[in-house]
């Protein structure tokens, strides 16, 4: 009996529009028909829906490349090279990788390159395809510019207060005033310009009057939405197009391996490059200017802009899992860490009822313990031993050494390969093959995780400091930590503490003290970073904190300790509820 060739298929679409048009299903149908016609057996189908071909970081493509190592299938069937990647260089990278692993790549629309001449022709075809795509994109951009110059409004969602009228043969697309929403816009501007309302007071008034925004899951207005509205010149008849362009973020809010859209930030162009389009005005320029001036005045005199000192800001968390933020009561006389649910839920009732933590008490307790730790080799030794025993227990709980894991993995892969050959020979059906192979693959995946944990422990084991290193570090730190500024304390906390879990009566603090010379030597330099070695390998996140980006962890001591918060008698303060009343 002739052995059937085992195949994997790969399909991709870029946009939700393509998904709606069922091009993924169309691709899969064509791939299945091709496989059946040539007597191939499809073992697995990899599908990336809604992923651009301009990036290789796609979940199913990564799975395909990883599974190619196990050689469960002998070839990959793809409809067209541009389904693999848009860029020729990306295509070649994946094709070379698969060829090196002995995996054949089959395209339906064109023949895969088999020799040097084919490869050159394939490259020329890919370059022409890239050029054609660039030309189409430029034509599309120029078409938009032409439309805008003719007076067309190119918008996906009309500005609040307007409705969008699509273009006709006689007139271009345009805005018309939505009188119901326009009345709300005029009222908001009047509250700010004439009555001196703050943003939050406007939010409360809108909630009281039952006026909902156009789109909101909570059904309430956000101050950020109002801020955008109150600064938008469209309300005085001066809208614009092309004021910004998409860029890859320099400091992304979240580090994600897979991104369907890479250019998620916007960069503002010079105003001279904007295309301005006249629209019907809802308010006069004098009202608009007075509202802008009042906003600036509100910001300047806002009590919340007073800069209070919060040592644990950005590191302290509520039991509900959210961060706690600082709040100064009575103009900073009393400082607290409160759950951010109060801010995020405004003007509705907060979803978390956890009480506030006295900030000055918590800051003092944590700082004193950090100084005590960094100044005592005995305390650091206790923390290092605790961490070492926890890691050792965790690694031993897997029940296998790295060598044993490798042996079992090799045995399982050999068993999986036997099943693949038996299936290819027609001994059993595809359903039977999946029934036998899936538990094996799951076990291989589990072993892979266990191996990573064991190897990580083995690597971290070498980072445990010896007694001499602890003594040298603590002697230097002890002389430098007695009298430091708040800014210096803040830098130390940001680089040493990972997380503080806080309730009203207890603090659980976790962190890592790096025993690099930079830690102590930089303390002696004014205006120098607390841990210069760390800072070079960190980047700022949205809260102004530093995020680790280093691959090699320095020698140091992970620590964890609990602190009991003493009862502090302070007067009860009144707070505004969702209706703006004191409670």
d(CA 382, CA 465): 12
* pLDDT tens digits for range 218-264: 888 988 889 989 989 999 998 888 888 888 887 776 766 677 777 77
For β-strands 538-540 and 357-358, DSSP reports them as: unpaired
Q: What is the 3-state secondary structure (H, E, C) of 249-268?
A: CCCCCCCCCCCCCCCCEEEE
Q: How far is CA 363 from CA 135, 313, 322, 380, in A?
A: 59, 10, 19, 21
CB 583 within 8 A of CB 575: yes
Residue 525 pLDDT > 70: no
d(CA 509, CA 514): 16
pLDDT for res 304: 56
Q: What is the 3-state secondary structure (H, E, C) of 18-87?
A: HHHCCHHHHHHHHHHHHHHHCCCEEEEEEEEECCCCCCCCCHHHHHHHHHCCCCCCCEEEECCHHHHCCC
- The top-scoring range by mean pLDDT among 250-264, 274-288, 388-402, 556-570 is 274-288
CB 370 within 8 A of CB 311: no
**Would the pTM of this model clear 0.95, i.e. be above it?**
no
pLDDT for res 533: 36
Instruction: Provide the mean pLDDT of the chain.
Output: 79
- Alpha-carbon torsion 318, 320, 325, 331, what sign? negative
d(CA 416, CA 70): 9
CB 104 within 8 A of CB 75: yes
Query: pLDDT category, 2, cuts 50, 70, 90?
Result: very low
Contacts 24+ apart (CB under 8 A), 485-490: 486/309, 486/311, 488/523, 488/530, 489/311, 489/367, 490/311
Return all residues near 135 (Cβ < 8 A) that are at least 6 apart: none
pLDDT for res 547: 40
Angle at 491 between CA 364 and CA 360, to 5 degrees: 20
CB 7 within 8 A of CB 41: yes
Better pLDDT: 548 or 124? 124
pLDDT for res 223: 86
What is the DSSP track for 421-469?
HHHHTTSS-HHHHHHHHHHHHHHHHHHHHHHHHHHHHHHHHTTPPPHHH
**Which range has the worst mean pLDDT, 60-64, 98-102, 414-418, 565-569?**
565-569
d(CA 553, CA 534): 10
Ordered structural domains, the chain, with CATH: 6-133 (3.40.50.1390), 162-237+279-301 (3.90.1750.20), 307-359 (no CATH), 360-583 (no CATH)
Residue 391 pLDDT > 70: no
- The top-scoring range by mean pLDDT among 111-115, 198-202, 424-428, 470-474 is 198-202
* pLDDT tens digits for range 479-509: 777 778 888 888 888 888 999 999 988 999 9
d(CA 473, CA 289): 59
Whether a cis peptide bond, with omega within 30° of 0, leads into 347 is yes
Residue 330 pLDDT > 60: yes
Quick one: 119 exposed, middle or buried, by C-beta within 10 A (0-12, 13-18, 19+)? Answer: middle
Q: How far is CA 356 from CA 174, 309, 345, 353, 500, in A?
A: 51, 16, 16, 9, 14
In eight-state DSSP terms, residue 506 is E
Residue 260: HSE in the Cβ half-sphere, 13 Å Cα cutoff: 9
In eight-state DSSP terms, residue 582 is B
């Amino acid at each position: 009996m002739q052995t059937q060739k085992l195949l994997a298929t790969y399909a991709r679409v870029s946009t939700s529009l393509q998904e709606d048009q069922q091009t993924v299903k169309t691709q899969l149908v064509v791939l299945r028909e091709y496989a059946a016609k040539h007597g191939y057996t499809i073992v697995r189908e990899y599908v990336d829906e809604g992923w651009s071909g301009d990036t290789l970081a796609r979940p199913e493509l990564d799975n395909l490349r990883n599974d190619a190592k196990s050689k469960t299938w002998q070839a990959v069937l793809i409809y067209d090279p541009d389904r693999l990647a848009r860029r020729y260089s990306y295509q070649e990278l994946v094709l070379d990788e698969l060829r090196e692993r002995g995996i054949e790549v089959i395209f339906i629309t064109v023949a895969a390159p088999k020799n040097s001449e084919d490869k050159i022709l394939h490259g020329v075809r890919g370059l022409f395809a890239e050029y054609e795509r660039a030309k189409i994109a430029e034509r599309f951009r120029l078409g938009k510019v032409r439309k805008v110059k003719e007076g067309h409004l190119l918008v996906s969602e009309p500005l609040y207060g307007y409705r969008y009228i699509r273009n006709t043969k006689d007139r271009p697309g345009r805005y018309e005033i939505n009188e119901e929403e326009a009345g709300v816009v005029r009222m908001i501007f009047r509250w700010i310009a004439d009555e001196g309302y703050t943003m939050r007071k406007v939010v409360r008034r809108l909630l009281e009057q039952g006026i909902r925004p156009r789109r909101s899951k909570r059904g309430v207005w956000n101050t950020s939405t109002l801020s955008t509205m109150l600064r938008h010149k469209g309300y005085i008849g001066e809208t614009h197009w092309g004021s910004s362009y998409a860029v890859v973020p320099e400091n992304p809010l979240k580090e994600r391996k897979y991104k369907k859209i890479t250019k998620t930030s916007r960069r503002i162009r010079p105003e001279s490059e904007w295309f301005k389009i006249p629209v019907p005005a809802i308010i006069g320029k004098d009202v608009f200017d007075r509202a802008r001036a009042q906003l600036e005045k509100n910001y300047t005199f806002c009590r919340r802009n007073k800069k209070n000192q919060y040592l644990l800001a950005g590191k302290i968390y509520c039991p509900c899992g959210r961060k706690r933020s600082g709040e100064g009561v009575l103009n900073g006389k009393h400082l607290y860490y409160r759950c951010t649910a109060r801010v995020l839920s405004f003007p509705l009732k907060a979803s978390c009822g956890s009480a506030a933590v006295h900030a000055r008490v918590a800051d003092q307790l944590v700082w004193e313990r950090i100084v005590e730790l960094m100044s005592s080799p005995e305390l650091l030794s206790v923390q290092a031993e605790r961490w070492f025993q926890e890691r050792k227990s965790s690694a031993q709980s897997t029940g296998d050494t790295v060598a044993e894991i490798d042996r079992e993995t090799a045995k399982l892969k050999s068993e999986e390969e036997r099943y693949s050959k038996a299936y290819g020979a027609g001994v059993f059906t595809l359903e039977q093959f999946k029934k036998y192979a899936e538990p094996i693959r799951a076990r291989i995946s589990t072993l892979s995780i266990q191996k990573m944990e064991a190897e990580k422990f083995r690597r971290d084991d070498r980072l445990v400091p010896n007694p001499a290193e602890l003594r040298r570090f603590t002697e230097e730190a002890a002389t430098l930590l007695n009298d430091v500024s708040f800014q210096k304390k803040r830098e130390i906390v940001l680089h040493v503490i990972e997380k503080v879990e806080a309730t009203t009566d207890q603090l659980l603090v976790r962190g890592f003290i790096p025993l690099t010379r930079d830690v102590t030597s930089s303390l002696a330099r004014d205006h120098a970073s607390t841990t210069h070695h760390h800072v070079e390998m960190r980047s700022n996140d949205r809260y102004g904190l530093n995020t680790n980006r280093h691959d090699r962890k320095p020698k140091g001591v992970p620590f964890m300790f609990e602190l009991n918060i003493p009862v502090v008698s302070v007067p009860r303060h009144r707070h505004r509820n969702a209706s703006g009343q004191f409670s």
